[in-house]
Amino acid sequence: MRLALDLFTILCVSAGGVFFLAATIGMLRFPDTLTRLHALTKADNLGLGLVVLGLLPRMEGVAEALKLVGIWLLALLAAATVAQLVARAALRETAGQPGGPPR
Amino acid sequence: MTALWLLDLCLVAVILAVALSAVAARDLFAATVFFVAYGLLIALAWVRLDAVDVALAEAAIGAGLTGVLLLGVTARVHMEARTPGPGRGMRLAIGAGCAAVSVALAAAVLSLPVPAPSLVPAVEAAIPATGLGNPVTAVLLAFRGYDTLLETLVLLLALLGVWSLAPDRLWGGRPGLRHRARPEGTLAWLGRLLPPIGLLVGVYVFWIGSDQPGGAFQAGTILAAVWLLAIMAGLSDAPPVRSLALRLVLVAGPVVFLGIGTAGLFVAGAFLGYPPAAAKTLIVTVEAALTLSIAATLALLVAGAPERAP
Amino acid sequence: MAEFLVVAAAFVLLTVGAGLVRILHGPAEADRMMAAQLLGSGGIAVLLLLAVAMERPAAVDVALVLALLAAFAAVAFVKGRSPSGAGDPEA
């Protein structure tokens, strides 16, 4: 049982790390602002979710575990609203430029 | 554990790179964002140094207030007419002054005695009398009460300084412009959803402060941040600085602290002393009042000088 | 297990740290802002991993504060983009 839980943690946390790597690569390599925004707000929150999932069995009680899930939900909320707001700002900023939307 | 060495090495490398970029970046906005990132990394460093109380304060200040303050300032600098920056001679002088401070700090750190003098045993011996479990709170509110009392007064003085930047005709008015956001929009939605959660987290951080990392300053910062969010989302307006209710909240913390401290002269034999039987209750009372005052003071510091006539 | 979690934390930190190059390159201000946002979620993950690895449950509260305030810098940024600095960012 112990071994299975350890394996679960290692698997989830590693997968989380891969998604953080994906988010960074997208951030650095994607061609324009809006696609980069897309890479950022989805991949890194999946990464954080997998890290949280992997750490859940290591929590001491149900309350601690719920706190961890709450942190992930707050991060999701922040990412979703930030994506909306920053996307509008980016649309206005890059309008008419090469790689941006038409003015 | 060698893995921790590896992590510390990565952390220090990233912190140094970000700090240098914040100083060297040509673009003002980039420098500001680097500084915001720097604050977050410093919170991680405090956790590694086992100072979780400080990490909490840095996380709340860095993520909640400094970012709002500095990004607001950057936007204003863009908006207002460009004043000429300092000349080459002035820049060299500023650089030399900063370098001198850095060298002096480094010299001071390198010449610290090993092992460092410590009051830890004294704190551990005296802490049961306070009824607290968090040594940081015990030091701040009991053993070094003077420092904390004066710090809260300094915060108030800083706010008076900011307010006094207002021209006479605006004195007593509301700080900043009235914020607007579309009522059904994303920002207004976040502004309605997050403050109740922030209130809960703030009260939680205040409440655990007596036994675990947390306390009045961290909680006050969180409350200030969510209040500012409600203001930025156009859901509530900053109060006029002549408001009596506002001023009562601002002085509540220092007044309660001073009152209980003075009462200590008679019941505990020393200014800022607590009778052991009631120590924890009194300290939590002081912290509760301080939380409110710190929240209001920090939020108004960020909101700035009055800009609308009363 | 603690060793693995610390190495994972170092990996995430270095990864999102590398993403900060975007702050330097931009080109749009939104790009720079997003790199800081990525550091925010990475920092939360690092704190949670460290809280378990170092057995400091209080570090979870630091992550909680970061998650609660994660949107604040970006909100201030979009507010600053409106002409008066206080207008509707979604207009």
> C44 and A77 in contact by Cβ < 8 A?
no
Closest to B287 (Cα-Cα) out of B262, B264, B267, B260: B260
Are B139 and B168 members of one domain?
A: yes
- Kindly state whether C60 is in contact with chain A, defined as any CB-CB distance less than 8 angstroms: yes
Q: Which of A85, A93, A91 is nearest to B78 (CA)?
A: A93
Pairwise CA distance, residues A31 & C25, whole Å: 13
Instruction: Give residue A43's domain range.
Output: 2-94
Co-location of B143 and B202 in the same domain? yes
Give the total number of structural domains in chain B: 3
The neighbours of chain B, by the rule of 3 or more Cβ pairs under 8 Å, are: A, C
C90 in any annotated domain? no
- Model confidence pLDDT, tens digit, residues A2-36: 888 889 999 999 999 999 999 999 888 888 888 88
Residue B107 belongs to domain spanning: 87-117
For residues C22 and C52, give the distance between their C-alpha atoms in angstroms, rounded to a whole number.
30
Whether residues B215 and B254 fall in one domain: yes
Chains that touch A (3 or more CB pairs under 8 A): B, C
In a domain, C17, yes or no: yes
Gap from B74 CA to chain A (nearest CA, Å): 16
C91 domain-assigned: no
Domain count, chain A: 1
Same domain, B72 and B153: no
> Does residue B79 have a pLDDT over 80?
no
Whether A102 is in a domain gets the answer no
Per-residue confidence (pLDDT) for residue B73, from 0 to 100: 84
Judge whether C8 is closer than 8 Å to chain B, CB to CB.
no
Does one domain contain both B177 and B280? yes
Regarding whether B64 and B158 lie in a shared domain, the answer is: no
The burial class, CB within 10 Å (0-12 / 13-18 / 19+), for C13 is: buried
With bands split at pLDDT 50, 70 and 90, how would you rate the model's confidence at B137?
A: confident
The residue of chain B with its CA nearest to that of C68 is B198
Burial of B230 (0-12, 13-18, 19+ CB in 10 A): buried
Specify the pLDDT at position A96: 61
Tokens of B124: 């551990």
Q: What is the pLDDT of residues B29-54, one digit of tens each?
A: 899 999 999 999 999 999 999 899 99
Using alpha carbons only, give the angle C6, A71, C16 rounded to the nearest 5 degrees: 45
Q: Do C46 and C60 form a contact (C-beta atoms < 8 A)?
A: no
A residues 36..95 contacting C (CB < 8 A): 36-37, 40-41, 44-45, 47-48, 51-52, 55, 58, 60, 64, 67-68, 70-72, 74-75, 77-79, 81-82, 85-90, 92-94
